[in-house]
Amino acid sequence: MGRNDDMDSIRRMSGLATPMALRVAVTLGLPDRLRDDNASAGELAAELAVAPVALELLLSHLATLGVVEPTPTGYRTTEYGANLCADADNGLVDLLHLDTAGGRAELAFVELAHSITTGRAAYPHRYGQEFWSDLADYSHLRESFDRQMTHRIREQIPQIVAGFDWSRFSTIVDVGGGQGSVLAAILAAHPRIHGHLVDLEPTATRARHVFSTHGLDGRTQITAGSFFDSLPAGADAYLLVDILHDWDDEHAHSIVNRCVEAAHPTGRVLVIEPVGGVRATSEFDLAMLVIFGGRERRIAEFRALTAPHGLVLDTITDLTDQRVLLEFRLTAD
């Protein structure tokens, strides 16, 4: 009996039918379409230009999962399934939809064997170019990625603001700061701090709107550019939130080097992200490898990454159940 239970458990973990059924359902917009108005497989197939018999099979499995439920005239979305609706505001649609950055990237797991064999990202092996090039070439992928990143950290921002003494700094450069939600929250809590955000267009433009919404125009600057280029010089702190784990060692060295080049001699480099062996999960670690060729580095790996650039790890602060803040100082300090 125990052996059979183990086998069933392994089958459930390894099966692809359910994760792909959920992704296709979200991509087709089925949870939204069936939330307020039930419909039959035939009606939906005509609306969506898909095969009716195949759609019936998909709906039947979604019913097994509790995402939809049968009605006398077809199917409707359950309360549980409503979590997959576009307006649920939980980030799931951007993670699962097959034509968003997150949903597309996760399919690179099909090529996991390539990453394990080579140590490199599987994403370009599957799609022909790296993840960041796709974002540059396709605006809808960039927009969905920005939404996903903003949502992923949104609930942790209060802990990030409260869990560290930001008031020590008069100027902070948010390197690759996205739409500015983290920097905006820090500045809102500390009226004497000035902030400078660096990110690519059009993300930088959206950050300007976020700063304006928070009444921070007078204390913020924005540079539309790459963190592989020279950064605004002379700030007290250079903040990297969920940046380094997206890159292999070669690129991570370049990013750290740019921060050190720009920093005030008494400045700090602040890294916020999951840390291997502390806050990172093994599943997310594999995702960083498959999509970016990166990983959730351990403390020793961060020391090895930063030491050649004259940085010393000063403090380690557990900010949330997912993220750690590592504070580095220049050895000349």
**Distance (Å, whole) CA 140 – CA 118:** 30
- Which residues make beta-bridge pairs with 327? 270, 315
The SS3 of residue 268 is strand
Count helices and strands in the chain by DSSP H and E runs: 17, 9
Residues in contact with 189: Cβ distance below 8 Å, sequence separation at least 6, in sequence order = 161, 166
Cis status of the peptide bond prior to 274, with omega within 30 of 0: no
Contact 136, 158 (CB under 8 A): no
**Distance (Å, whole) CA 186 – CA 188:** 6
Contact 222, 196 (CB under 8 A): yes
The candidate with the shortest Cα–Cα distance to 248, out of 303, 175, 298, 297, is 297
Question: Active-site residue among 140, 194, 245, 264?
Answer: 245
β pairing state of 194-199 and 220-224: parallel
Contact 144, 102 (CB under 8 A): yes
**Tokens matching residue 7:** 């086998």
DSSP string, 48-66: HT--HHHHHHHHHHHHHHT
151 is catalytic: no
List alpha helices for the chain, DSSP H: 2-14, 17-28, 30-33, 41-48, 52-65, 92-96, 101-106, 112-118, 123-127, 131-137, 139-154, 157-162, 181-189, 203-213, 249-262, 282-292, 299-306
The candidate with the shortest Cα–Cα distance to 146, out of 180, 193, 121, is 180
Active site residues: 245
